[in-house]
Every structure is written in structure tokens, then in C-alpha cells.
Amino acid sequence: MSFTGKKHSEETKRKISLSRKKYTGKNHPRYGAEWTDEQRAKYILTMHHIRQEENRIKMFLIKYDGLYRKFQDEQKKKE
């Protein structure tokens, strides 16, 4: 069952908001926690790999966009 396409009622939104208020400021589980050097390095590497993958996709699209448009034009001519 999926929630896609549905919306929370105002009452439900209020209940969610009230239940989350206890996790603010000093009551938040991560309050005052600091990252270790290992965590920071892992995060930096992850973000670096994500950016590299995005750049690969962009370059692929740039490289093959002309071929794809040419293919589309040929298909339209056949019709």
C-alpha cells in the first residue's frame, strides 16, 4: 500500500507535529554529538562519488543527445 497521491488531514498533521516537539533542542537524540574524523571522511567520499556519478550522467547525455535527436528525426521521416 502506498501513500502516493494522498494527503494528511489537518488533524493528522497536528498530531505528528505534537509528537515531534519533544525532540527539539537538548532533547534531540543527536544534540551535542560531533562527527568523528572517520564519519566526516566517509561523508566527503560519498558526496564526491555522488557528484562524479552526476557528472558521468551529464556527459553521457551531452555525448548521445545529438545521436538520439538524429534517430528521432529519422523515425519521423519514416512515418
HSE, side-chain direction, 13 A CA sphere, residue 72: 6
Residue 40 is part of which domain span? Answer: 10-78
The domain tally of the chain equals 1
C-alpha cell at 52: 562524479
Q: What is the C-alpha to C-alpha distance for residues 41 and 37, in angstroms, rounded to an integer? A: 6
Residue 3 maps to a domain: no
Nearest CA among 3, 19, 2 for reference residue 11: 19
Sign of CA dihedral 50, 51, 56, 58: positive
pLDDT of residue 40: 95
Q: What is the pLDDT of residues 19-57, one digit of tens each?
A: 999 999 999 999 999 999 999 999 999 999 999 999 999
Task: Note the pTM of the prediction, 2 decimals.
Answer: 0.46
In a domain, 57, yes or no: yes
Interval 52-75: pLDDT, tens: 999 999 899 888 888 888 888 888
**pLDDT at site 27:** 94
Residue 47 lies in a domain: yes
